[in-house]
Amino acid sequence: MYVLAKTFGEENVIPYPKLSGGKEADLMVRFNDTNLYIEIGSLGARLSEKRIEKVFNEIAEWICAKLRQYNQDLYLRIEIDTTEIPLKENYIDEDGAIKAIKRELECLELDELLRLDWRGSLNFEVALQVIDIDPKILNRQECELAKADNPQVREWVKKKRGMFKCLKFVKSIRCYNFQTMVVEVGSLESYPSKLSEKLLEVIAKQIIRHLNEQVKQIEPNCANIIAIDTKHWSLQPTEGLDVFFKETLFKYLKDEIMSVLMENADISGVILFFNRIDHGVFIRNPRAKTTVDWFVNNLKLKEIA
């Protein structure tokens, strides 16, 4: 709503406009003599995401129980790379993932690290890369991420050097003084997991089901766009959105989405986006009665076909 109001003016963005069939659209955008009706939907969190969250929560509780004996009040966050999360029949192996991550954490002996005199972020990959380099010639970011100017941490890294080379899951740790003990386990970055690749066909079917539901909510003989937030179901883009979608999700989606569009000339196109409607791609309906180039161009959406 904010992005559209900023782009087209608040007076030109109308929430919940009445449709001729008696229902309401999510939004209507006015531009010159054109009214564009927009249906915005979001796919729910995928099962794999919920399972990863369950794994992270159990690991966090386990760490908290182990550290309580040291009576330290701190905020601790462990960053996990989900790329190598083990699968079982194409689904996350929760027990296998929990055991594997616990095994790495036990080998790292984090309790020893946390008793050292340091706070902040420690990236294990960077620490391993610069361990044999004089901290005086490192740039500021490398020095900070590796805690290279802390003799105690450097000694701990040297001792764990062999272990660092074998880490598949645990990537970094953040630790700060706090009024109580708080432990979080998560994945700050989004990694292109093998599981997500295997689920792309399922994701495509979910989007088509959602699209077919939204088709019932359009205004005949007008411009209509169906926008779908795919943040829960898609890999996060590492390059241009158009390239990203074309090489991943769109391969599984193209035929069916075009079939839906060709049967519904009142739909000008579909937007697949991440969080914000202007952070996405536009799929044009070649049979659309009304084109919406003005909308696509003003939002700077990439177009794929």
What is the per-residue pLDDT for 82? 81
Rounded to 5°, angle at Cα 232 from 226 and 234 = 80
Of 14-28, 94-108, 112-126, 197-211, where does mean pLDDT reach its minimum?
A: 197-211
Closest CA to 10 of 29, 24, 23: 29
Please state whether beta strands 170-177 and 13-15 pair in parallel, antiparallel, or not at all (unpaired): unpaired
Q: Any idea where the domains of the chain sit in the sequence? A: 2-46+199-304, 47-190
Rounded to 10°, the helix 94-108/47-67 angle is 30
Q: What is the pLDDT of residues 20-68, one digit of tens each?
A: 988 999 999 999 888 999 999 877 655 566 788 889 999 999 999 888 8
Whether the per-residue pLDDT at 84 is higher than 60: the answer is yes
Q: Is the pLDDT of residue 207 over 80?
A: yes
Percent of the chain exceeding pLDDT 70 equals 88
Mean pLDDT, to the nearest integer, of 93-116? 92
Give percent of the chain with pLDDT exceeding 90.
51
Tokens of 67: 């550290």
